[in-house]
Amino acid sequence: MMLSVLGLNELQERAYRQLVELPSAAAENLAKILEADLGDVRLTLESLETLGLVARSIATLDHFIASPPELALGSLIVEQQQDLRRAELELHALNGLFQRAATGRAGLDVIDIVRGPQAVAQHFAQLQRGAKQTVWAMVKPDVTVVESEDNTDEGAALERGVKYKVIVESQAFNKPGFANQVAMTAATGEEIRATDSLPLRMLIADRELALLPLNSESAANSEIGALLIRPSGLLDAMCALFELSWKQAQPTYLPANDLGTAESLDEIDRHLLVLLRAGITDKAMAGQLSVSLRTIQRRLQLLMNRAEVSTRFQLGVAAAQRGWIE
């Protein structure tokens, strides 16, 4: 329901929408149309009248008519905008106080300890919601802070123009469905690279905050924790670590604007070579490219024959030399 952002509940929105389409209606009529309790509808109409969204008909007092949306909803939108502006001003004021206090902190005060899986997941979401320009992430396959399908904040951040760079360990592609998730995520513009091993899990937002989950492979869920690192020399070191790891990692999926630039290779073969260079297993390649394992092996053999080489390592070198991949 779209009008929930203006403070309307589901029944209020349904009742108002219905009245917009009708000349007028009584509570009894609306209750039947909406298949709702008559008492609830009456209370809803009274609340809408208080908000100025409906008015009683002059011709028939027990009937209600909708107020013009541009006038009624417009005033609610203006109120919301004013509230947001006041909240933004308060945010800047509080941030100024926080920054002044931060200058007097001890060195260890730049690190906050986050305890418990729920708190870690909340900070994970907050960093993405607050990101304005970039989100960098290192992903290890052993423990997941938030399941991919539950990470709606990532999609919202991408939609508002935040640039994502994600490094994953190659073995993560062996997890069922992971390769398909990478393909779908890459299609939204996220850059994803793979490497054999990562030293830690990490999320960095705008080079201003970093979240480092602390749990080990054998840790119970109740032991999940994380470090929240604020601007400091330590955060600078974490950013430098990510940038170094990014340079050493290999692309796992070709951006849409790179497809088909090599006329001599089709899309699947180019993707296959990119995945091969990233160290992805045949099984994971098959899952990501939505083809059978035998098709992957057959295509690799055909590419080796075409490049006149006998090993996959030689194929990777030949592909770069021939301009098949960058």
Residue 231, C-beta contacts closer than 8 angstroms, at least 6 positions apart = 102, 110, 208, 209
Q: Which token pair is 184?
A: 């779908």
Top mean-pLDDT range of 84-93, 163-172, 249-258, 268-277: 163-172
pLDDT of residue 272: 84
Top mean-pLDDT range of 6-10, 92-96, 178-182, 259-263: 6-10
Adjacent-strand bridge partners of 202: 138
- The band of 94, judged by pLDDT with boundaries at 50, 70 and 90, is confident
Q: Cα-atom radius of gyration of the chain, to the nearest Å? A: 28
Q: In what order do the strands lie in the sheet with 209-213?
A: 111-115, 225-229, 209-213, 202-205, 134-139, 163-169, 191-195, 250-251
The Cβ of residue 46 has, within 10 Å, a number of other Cβ atoms equal to 13
Which candidate, 8, 24, 11, places its Cα nearest to that of 66?
24
- The band of 261, judged by pLDDT with boundaries at 50, 70 and 90, is very low
Q: Which domains, from first to last, does the chain contain?
A: 1-104 (1.10.10.10), 109-251 (3.30.870.10), 256-321 (1.10.10.10)
pLDDT of residue 44: 93
Question: Is residue 149 predicted with pLDDT exceeding 60?
Answer: no
Q: What is the distance between the alpha carbons of residues 224 and 146, in angstroms, rounded to a whole number?
A: 12
pLDDT of residue 263: 47
pLDDT of residue 253: 61
Q: What's the rounded mean pLDDT across residues 96-111? A: 66
Lowest mean pLDDT among 55-69, 176-190, 302-316: 176-190
Write the CA distances from 104 to 33, 100, 110, 208, integer angstroms.
63, 7, 11, 18
For the segment 198-244, what is each residue's pLDDT rounded down to a tens digit? 989 999 999 999 999 886 544 444 456 889 998 888 999 999 999 99
For the segment 262-289, what is each residue's pLDDT rounded down to a tens digit? 446 777 888 788 788 777 888 888 877 7
pLDDT of residue 114: 86
Whole-structure pTM over 0.85, yes or no? no
